[in-house]
Structure 1
Amino acid sequence: MTARLNVELCGRLADACGRMVELDLPAEEVPVSALFAALAAAYPALAPSIASGRVRACVNEALVGADSPVRAGDEVALFPPVSGG
Protein backbone atom coordinates (compact mmCIF):
# COMPACT_ATOMS: atom_id res chain seq x y z
CA MET A 1 0.00 0.00 0.00
CA THR A 2 1.30 3.46 -0.85
CA ALA A 3 0.47 6.86 0.55
CA ARG A 4 0.63 10.18 -1.30
CA LEU A 5 2.61 12.99 0.28
CA ASN A 6 2.90 16.63 -0.79
CA VAL A 7 6.32 18.15 -0.15
CA GLU A 8 6.97 21.90 -0.17
CA LEU A 9 10.33 22.88 -1.59
CA CYS A 10 11.92 26.13 -0.45
CA GLY A 11 14.72 28.31 -1.80
CA ARG A 12 16.81 26.91 -4.62
CA LEU A 13 15.13 23.52 -4.24
CA ALA A 14 11.96 25.14 -5.61
CA ASP A 15 13.98 26.52 -8.53
CA ALA A 16 14.73 22.95 -9.60
CA CYS A 17 11.23 21.43 -9.44
CA GLY A 18 8.66 24.03 -8.43
CA ARG A 19 7.28 24.91 -5.03
CA MET A 20 5.33 21.66 -4.44
CA VAL A 21 6.01 18.10 -5.50
CA GLU A 22 4.05 14.92 -4.90
CA LEU A 23 5.51 11.63 -3.86
CA ASP A 24 4.06 8.18 -3.28
CA LEU A 25 5.49 6.72 -0.08
CA PRO A 26 6.03 2.96 -0.05
CA ALA A 27 4.36 2.64 3.35
CA GLU A 28 2.27 4.67 5.76
CA GLU A 29 5.40 5.73 7.65
CA VAL A 30 8.99 6.14 6.48
CA PRO A 31 12.04 7.88 7.96
CA VAL A 32 13.10 11.22 6.52
CA SER A 33 16.18 9.52 5.04
CA ALA A 34 13.90 7.26 2.95
CA LEU A 35 11.86 10.30 1.92
CA PHE A 36 15.05 11.98 0.70
CA ALA A 37 16.05 8.88 -1.27
CA ALA A 38 12.61 8.62 -2.86
CA LEU A 39 12.63 12.32 -3.78
CA ALA A 40 16.10 12.07 -5.34
CA ALA A 41 14.94 9.11 -7.44
CA ALA A 42 11.64 10.70 -8.50
CA TYR A 43 13.06 14.19 -9.09
CA PRO A 44 16.66 13.89 -10.37
CA ALA A 45 17.12 17.67 -10.32
CA LEU A 46 16.95 17.46 -6.50
CA ALA A 47 19.48 14.64 -6.21
CA PRO A 48 22.66 16.79 -5.98
CA SER A 49 21.22 18.97 -3.21
CA ILE A 50 19.90 15.98 -1.28
CA ALA A 51 23.20 14.11 -1.71
CA SER A 52 25.04 17.05 -0.13
CA GLY A 53 23.53 16.07 3.22
CA ARG A 54 22.73 19.68 4.00
CA VAL A 55 19.00 19.79 3.16
CA ARG A 56 16.85 20.14 6.27
CA ALA A 57 13.36 18.73 6.68
CA CYS A 58 10.47 20.17 8.64
CA VAL A 59 7.59 17.85 9.45
CA ASN A 60 4.48 19.50 10.82
CA GLU A 61 6.45 22.74 11.33
CA ALA A 62 9.26 21.15 13.39
CA LEU A 63 12.84 20.60 12.21
CA VAL A 64 13.52 16.87 12.28
CA GLY A 65 16.44 14.51 11.77
CA ALA A 66 17.03 11.75 9.25
CA ASP A 67 15.52 9.05 11.49
CA SER A 68 12.30 10.96 12.22
CA PRO A 69 9.13 9.42 10.79
CA VAL A 70 7.08 10.93 7.99
CA ARG A 71 3.48 9.79 7.64
CA ALA A 72 0.86 10.28 4.97
CA GLY A 73 -0.90 13.56 5.65
CA ASP A 74 2.08 15.21 7.36
CA GLU A 75 3.06 18.71 6.29
CA VAL A 76 6.60 18.42 4.94
CA ALA A 77 8.90 21.23 3.82
CA LEU A 78 12.50 20.96 2.69
CA PHE A 79 15.03 23.75 3.09
CA PRO A 80 18.42 24.07 1.38
CA PRO A 81 21.39 25.37 3.33
CA VAL A 82 21.34 29.14 3.66
CA SER A 83 24.13 31.62 4.09
CA GLY A 84 24.02 35.11 5.37
CA GLY A 85 26.13 37.83 6.65
Structure 2
Amino acid sequence: MSKIIMGIKLMERMKTASKFQELLSEYGCDICTRLGLHVASSDSCSPNGLIILEFKDNADDAAAEFEEKVYKIADATIQKMVF
Protein backbone atom coordinates (compact mmCIF):
# COMPACT_ATOMS: atom_id res chain seq x y z
CA MET A 1 0.00 0.00 0.00
CA SER A 2 1.55 3.32 -1.02
CA LYS A 3 0.80 6.88 -0.01
CA ILE A 4 1.89 9.69 -2.35
CA ILE A 5 2.46 13.27 -1.25
CA MET A 6 3.09 15.53 -4.25
CA GLY A 7 4.54 19.02 -4.16
CA ILE A 8 3.97 21.18 -7.24
CA LYS A 9 5.68 24.52 -7.84
CA LEU A 10 3.49 26.20 -10.42
CA MET A 11 5.09 29.01 -12.41
CA GLU A 12 2.98 31.86 -13.79
CA ARG A 13 0.04 30.53 -11.84
CA MET A 14 -2.32 33.29 -12.92
CA LYS A 15 -2.05 32.12 -16.55
CA THR A 16 -2.71 28.47 -15.75
CA ALA A 17 -4.88 28.62 -12.63
CA SER A 18 -8.19 27.81 -14.33
CA LYS A 19 -6.78 24.81 -16.23
CA PHE A 20 -4.99 23.60 -13.12
CA GLN A 21 -8.21 23.92 -11.10
CA GLU A 22 -10.05 21.84 -13.70
CA LEU A 23 -7.36 19.18 -13.37
CA LEU A 24 -7.72 19.19 -9.58
CA SER A 25 -11.47 18.71 -9.99
CA GLU A 26 -10.94 15.87 -12.47
CA TYR A 27 -8.81 14.02 -9.90
CA GLY A 28 -10.80 15.16 -6.87
CA CYS A 29 -11.79 11.62 -5.87
CA ASP A 30 -8.12 10.58 -5.79
CA ILE A 31 -6.89 13.58 -3.75
CA CYS A 32 -7.45 13.51 0.02
CA THR A 33 -5.77 16.79 0.95
CA ARG A 34 -4.92 19.91 -1.02
CA LEU A 35 -2.96 22.88 0.28
CA GLY A 36 -2.08 25.91 -1.82
CA LEU A 37 0.57 28.42 -0.80
CA HIS A 38 1.66 31.69 -2.38
CA VAL A 39 2.95 35.05 -1.23
CA ALA A 40 0.33 37.77 -1.28
CA SER A 41 0.53 41.33 -0.06
CA SER A 42 -1.68 44.37 -0.35
CA ASP A 43 0.07 45.57 -3.52
CA SER A 44 1.10 42.37 -5.30
CA CYS A 45 0.49 38.69 -5.67
CA SER A 46 3.20 36.12 -6.29
CA PRO A 47 3.34 34.83 -9.88
CA ASN A 48 4.27 31.37 -8.60
CA GLY A 49 2.48 29.02 -6.27
CA LEU A 50 3.19 25.89 -4.27
CA ILE A 51 0.54 23.19 -4.09
CA ILE A 52 0.82 20.18 -1.81
CA LEU A 53 -1.40 17.19 -2.55
CA GLU A 54 -2.02 13.98 -0.65
CA PHE A 55 -3.32 11.22 -2.89
CA LYS A 56 -5.46 8.44 -1.42
CA ASP A 57 -3.80 5.11 -0.71
CA ASN A 58 -2.86 3.12 -3.81
CA ALA A 59 -3.61 5.95 -6.24
CA ASP A 60 -0.25 5.47 -7.98
CA ASP A 61 -1.73 5.38 -11.48
CA ALA A 62 -3.93 8.42 -10.88
CA ALA A 63 -0.98 10.37 -9.43
CA ALA A 64 1.18 9.49 -12.45
CA GLU A 65 -1.59 10.58 -14.86
CA PHE A 66 -2.12 13.79 -12.91
CA GLU A 67 1.60 14.60 -13.00
CA GLU A 68 1.74 14.02 -16.75
CA LYS A 69 -1.24 16.32 -17.32
CA VAL A 70 0.21 19.07 -15.12
CA TYR A 71 3.33 19.19 -17.29
CA LYS A 72 1.11 19.54 -20.39
CA ILE A 73 -0.73 22.62 -19.10
CA ALA A 74 1.85 24.45 -17.00
CA ASP A 75 5.47 25.23 -16.38
CA ALA A 76 5.89 23.30 -13.15
CA THR A 77 8.34 21.46 -10.96
CA ILE A 78 7.01 18.37 -9.22
CA GLN A 79 8.52 16.44 -6.33
CA LYS A 80 6.99 13.39 -4.66
CA MET A 81 7.29 11.50 -1.43
CA VAL A 82 6.11 7.90 -1.57
CA PHE A 83 5.51 5.98 1.64
Whether these two folds match at TM > 0.5 is no
| TM-score (structure 1 length as normaliser) | 0.32
| TM-score (structure 2 length as normaliser) | 0.32
**Structure number with higher relative contact order (C-alpha < 8 Å, ≥ 6 residues apart):** 2
